[in-house]
Amino acid sequence: MDITIEQAAEDELKEKPDENNLGFGSIFTDHMLVMAYDDGHWQQPVIKKYQNFSLDPAAMALHYGQAIFEGLKAYRGKDDRIYLFRPQDNLRRMNKSAHRMCMPEINVDEVFAALQELLRLEKAWVPSVSGATLYIRPTMIATEAGLGVRPARQYLFFVILSPVGAYYPEGFNPVTIFVTEKYVRAVPGGVGNAKTAGNYAASIMAAVEAQKLGYTQVLWLDAIERKYVEEVGTMNIFFVIGDEVITPPLSGSILPGLTRDSVLRLTRDWGLNVVERRISIDEVFTAADNGTLREVFGTGTAAVISPVGALSYKGNVCQVNSGKTGELAQRLFDELQEIQYGLRPDPYNWVVKL
Smallest gap, in angstroms, from Cβ of residue 243 to ligand COI?
29
Instruction: Calculate the alpha carbon distances from 31 to 36, 43, 115, 211 in Å.
Output: 16, 18, 11, 34
Task: Give the residue with the Cβ less far from ligand COI, 234 or 321.
Answer: 234
SS3 sequence of 5-21: ECCCCHHHCCCCCCCCC
Burial (CB count <10 Å: 0-12, 13-18, 19+), residue 41:
exposed
Task: Give the residue with the Cβ less far from ligand COI, 133 or 154.
Answer: 133
Smallest gap, in angstroms, from Cβ of residue 316 to ligand COI?
28
Task: Give the residue with the Cβ less far from ligand COI, 124 or 201.
Answer: 201
Task: Give the residue with the Cβ less far from ligand COI, 76 or 260.
Answer: 260
Rounded distance, CA 186 to CA 202, Å?
Answer: 9
DSSP result, 127-141: --STT-EEEEEEEEE
Smallest gap, in angstroms, from Cβ of residue 133 to ligand COI?
11
Smallest gap, in angstroms, from Cβ of residue 201 to ligand COI?
11
When CB distances to ligand COI are compared, the closest residue is 71
Smallest gap, in angstroms, from Cβ of residue 287 to ligand COI?
27
Smallest gap, in angstroms, from Cβ of residue 135 to ligand COI?
7
Task: Give the residue with the Cβ less far from ligand COI, 257 or 309.
Answer: 257
- Residues at the contact surface with ligand COI, assessed by CB under 6 A: 71, 200, 234, 300-303
State the amino acid at position 215 in one-letter form.
Y
Rounded distance, CA 119 to CA 33, Å?
Answer: 10
Rounded distance, CA 50 to CA 122, Å?
Answer: 11
Rounded distance, CA 354 to CA 338, Å?
Answer: 17
Task: Give the residue with the Cβ less far from ligand COI, 98 or 293.
Answer: 98
Asked whether the beta carbons of 149 and 161 are under 8 A apart, the reply is no
